[in-house]
Structure 1
Amino acid sequence: MLKSNIKKGSPLTLGILGGGQLAKMLASAAYRMGLNVAVIENHSFSPAGDMTKLDFSHGWENLQELDAFIEASDIITLENEFIDPNILEYIEARRTVYPSSATMRLVQDKLIQKQTFQSAGLPVPNFVQLDSLEQALSFGESNGFPFVVKARKYGYDGYGNATVFDKESLIEAWTRFHNDKVSRPLMAESFVDFTKELAVIVARNYNGHKEVYPCVETVQYRHICHEVIAPAEISESIMKKAQQIALQSVESIDGIGVFGVEMFLTTDGDVLLNEIAPRPHNSGHYTIEACQTSQFENCIRAVCNLPLGSSKMIVPAACMVNLLGQIDGEGTPEDVRELLGHSNIWLHLYNKKKSRIGRKMGHITAVGNSQTEAIGRARSASNAISW
């Protein structure tokens, strides 16, 4: 048991900014390690908040609620990248927070993120800041169509991205972005002709110790991750290159905690850095069953500056399938008995109150002696559950 610095004789309390499924899985790992958990989220119910008595449901914009959360927590981490760094600075005056406000200022704005990576010599697609439609048209003329228009902040699972194929679709995307309730600054990025989308989880603590997980393949459909295959079926040289790029990207932002690094394997065999998530990542859920130490446990170890656990896989292969909402309705699935009849699979449900089309409601991880076997098991099991 890690002892609390603020409550004599009590376990350390891990504070989590956010209460979704990532916080839920972080909390599960924390409880297994003998810690207490505090959650702050701007909802009366959240998957993680429902797991603890230390649930602060009025959110971090409420100063009184935030102060109470800070007082309850020994050390604080986060489950999403949308928290105002000024809030993190406020917390840092009284508690340790990882990732830090300085790191978040480099990550939260995707333009600044790309500029940081470029300055560190990391391979990134061509990109430019967009201040006008004319600039966007000029980028298309000089770099060619298609290209990607991105909101610089608050995008996830493809929300905030638009691939434009010609002048007409660019104007349509530009109009849509600027008709949002909150106008967001934009950037343009060259479209990458890729053969696979790759991801690597990196854990790093204050002392600079790091663990780099195997490179995985993520299978996306309409910008939403559907499957993760571990390890990716790529050459050893590509595997090492992706892991090295991932580690360097985390070091370039002085990242402490766990980070999900997304990359492209191009048709030319190059690896290009796409984006970084300063938190546990969907591409790392397989690590709970398939690796010696899960991304969630290593996140806790990293922010507490503990020795990191091994990131090595303990099975030959694994496949994670996201369970996505198929209708707008209740959050409880119809039945799980058929699914639980499958062998070598693990079911994770996120306990969300409502299902929406495309919403992540849970996931399944399957293991096998090969990627093909693990994929087959995961897909078969996922077909046995629905909302």
Structure 2
Amino acid sequence: MLQEEITNKRVGIIGGGQLGKMMILEAKKMDFEVIILDPSSDCPASSIADQQIVAQFDDQQAIKQLADQSDVVTYEFEHINVEILKRLEKQGYQTYPTPTSLEVIQDKYQQKKKLFTADLPVPEFKKVSTVKEIKEVADQFGYPVMLKSCTGGYDGKGNALINEEAEVESAYQELGEGQQPLMAEQFIPFTKEISVIICRDTAGKRVVYPIAENEHQNSILIETKVPAQITEEVKKEAIELARQVIDVFAGVGIFCIEMFTTENGEVLINEIAPRPHNSGHYSIEGGITSQFEQHIRAITGLPLGPTTLLRPIVMRNLLGGKQEGQAVVDGIEDALQVPETKVHIYGKQESYYERKMGHLTVMADDVEQAAERASKAESLIQIRGSN
């Protein structure tokens, strides 16, 4: 009877983008009913959801409707109305990760403050609101310095690297001239960017995925290699930090903790995402239990699955080209001739420059061979807009 109760659960997802779509693909394998809320009627997840509520993400009545029709609610991105989720939680509705953890994480300053208070290693940071304050903090930290919007940033939007004092004014203007809360952060001359995907269930049990090594361009993730080429000491430190982070936030579901490593072996926490993450996409083909299946298991009360890496694997994002318009994808047939290549196209209707339109993964006997294959396969696919 217990098993029947669990597998009959209805899952509500706020957001119908690619992360929501990939959650649904795993949820349907276990026969869950899935309802999504998204303002776009043709969002990527719309084609496979059992039901869609077409509404804005700050529509409190629509979010209440989603909760009423679901046994558990989750979300695929952080920038949503946390106050309605907190009210619903008080009324007995289940939302995971919890609204309390989301409230802190969706504000980068509060997120860093909580980590710092918990004595976890983070770059130096300070809240700023004027050009004068930015210059004062930059003099304190030293150039270069990162200027960040505290809320709303993603894929490089909301970040500005300031290399010298002459760039302060333009960075300030770029990020809204103080209309949104800002923070300045010490720039870390990192040797590697890594991320740890970790999952925690409602009872507090945790499982950790193999560490990913990431490459960004313009603050957009381009490539993920697994396993990361790091020392055993750095690996142990990163895993321990991830475990501490998810406990600090009492997280339920998948969390991604992005980190920097330095030349002296130091590991610093950069940012946290309380959801499946781009750098964990490799787990669909490369892991026994994908991050999406794991997330669904955790929030619905099912046992967590093993996180064993099957083979070395590389993930490459497929970004939109400079020509904007109705999305057209060329070259999949050629790319699939590259050994052990899998291609995922998200189904976004519009393509624009550097928009995440899909990804591919390639497995091989070692990471170097997988990277070579992934680079070749990615070069064969072109995503453009058609007028």
2:97 is matched with: 99
Secondary structure of the corresponding residue to residue 217 of structure 1:
strand
1:144 is matched with: 142
Q: Deviation of residue 3 (structure 1)?
A: 4.0
Q: Deviation of residue 267 (structure 1)?
A: 2.3
1:160 is matched with: 158
The answer to whether the 8 A contact 1:59-1:66 is kept is no
Aligned residue identity for 2:105 = V
Matched-pair identity in %:
36
Determine the C-alpha separation between the residues in 2 that align with 1:240 and 1:97: 31
1:75 is matched with: 72
State TM-score, norm by structure 1: 0.95
Q: CA 1:192 to 1:329, structure 2 compared with 1: closer, same or farther past 3 Å?
A: same
2:313 is matched with: 318
Report the count of equivalent residues. 380
1:301 is matched with: 297
1:33 is matched with: 30
Determine the C-alpha separation between the residues in 2 that align with 1:211 and 1:275: 19
Gaps of 5+ in 1: none
2:84 is matched with: 87
Question: For 1:242-253, what aligned pairs fall within 5 Å after superposition?
Answer: 242-253=238-249
Are residues 1:197 and 2:193 paired?
yes
Q: CA 1:363 to 1:127, structure 2 compared with 1: closer, same or farther past 3 Å?
A: same
Determine which of 267, 276, 282 is the counterpart of 2:272: 276
The answer to whether the 8 A contact 1:339-1:385 is kept is yes
The answer to whether the 8 A contact 1:14-1:37 is kept is yes
1:132 is matched with: 130
Gaps of 5+ in 2: none
Q: CA 1:311 to 1:65, structure 2 compared with 1: closer, same or farther past 3 Å?
A: same
Q: Deviation of residue 231 (structure 1)?
A: 0.7
1:109 is matched with: 107
Are residues 1:62 and 2:37 paired?
no
Are residues 1:15 and 2:12 paired?
yes
Determine the C-alpha separation between the residues in 2 that align with 1:266 and 1:130: 26
Determine the C-alpha separation between the residues in 2 that align with 1:220 and 1:148: 15
Q: Deviation of residue 77 (structure 1)?
A: 0.6
1:173 is matched with: 171
Q: CA 1:189 to 1:63, structure 2 compared with 1: closer, same or farther past 3 Å?
A: closer
Determine the C-alpha separation between the residues in 2 that align with 1:297 and 1:348: 17
Aligned residue identity for 2:99 = S
Q: Which moved more, 1:300-309 or 1:354-363?
A: 300-309
Are residues 1:359 and 2:355 paired?
yes
Q: Deviation of residue 73 (structure 1)?
A: 1.0
Render the CA deviation track for 1:112-163: whole Å, top value 9, x for unaligned: 1001101111110111111322221111111111100000001111110001
The answer to whether the 8 A contact 2:57-2:81 is kept is no
Determine the C-alpha separation between the residues in 2 that align with 1:349 and 1:231: 24
Determine the C-alpha separation between the residues in 2 that align with 1:15 and 1:91: 13
Secondary structure of the corresponding residue to residue 302 of structure 1:
helix
1:385 is matched with: 381
Determine the C-alpha separation between the residues in 2 that align with 1:179 and 1:126: 22
Aligned residue identity for 1:122 = L
Render the CA deviation track for 1:82-128: whole Å, top value 9, x for unaligned: 01211212332242000111111221111110011011111101111
